[in-house]
């Protein structure tokens, strides 16, 4: 996990540096064991910088249920062979302005 951990931490640093959010709390586990834990950032940037996050920080997840559930269900469909992430979005929505993929 070492190379992966380095890549994940670099991605998090870039995202926080680009102000895509104020903090990241991440835990990756496997077979009941935590393999990686990353806590970076502050509770808020505006109007003033908030405290640094830790294991006890509570997050307001707002409307994250929809994208999280959608991503989880999409991965189930990928696993079942019913959805291809590289398939053009126009397969399902021919009128779509984007020629992008499901990914």
pLDDT tens per residue, range 78-96: 999 999 999 998 888 888 8
**CB 41: neighbour CB atoms within 10 A?**
19
Instruction: For residue 73, name the pLDDT band (cuts at 50, 70, 90).
Output: very high
- What residues are paired with 40 via a beta bridge? 24
Arithmetic mean of pLDDT, 64-91: 89
**Which pLDDT value is given to residue 1?**
61
CA distances from 3 to 27, 37, 38 (A): 16, 14, 15
pLDDT at 51: 97
Residue 64 above 90 pLDDT? no
Kindly tell me if the per-residue pLDDT of 20 is higher than 70.
yes
Instruction: Indicate yes or no: pTM above 0.75.
Output: no
Domain ranges of the chain: 1-57, 61-103
Residue 97 has pLDDT above 70, yes or no: yes
């Amino acid at each position: 996990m070492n190379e992966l951990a380095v890549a994940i931490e670099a991605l998090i640093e870039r995202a926080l540096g680009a102000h895509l959010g104020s903090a990241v709390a991440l835990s990756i586990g496997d077979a009941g064991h935590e393999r990686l834990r990353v806590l970076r950032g502050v509770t808020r940037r505006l109007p003033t910088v908030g405290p640094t996050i830790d294991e006890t920080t509570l997050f307001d997840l707002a409307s994250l249920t929809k994208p999280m559930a959608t991503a989880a269900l999409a991965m189930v469909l990928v696993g079942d062979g019913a959805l291809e992430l590289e398939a053009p979005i126009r397969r399902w929505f021919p009128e779509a302005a984007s020629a992008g993929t499901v990914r």
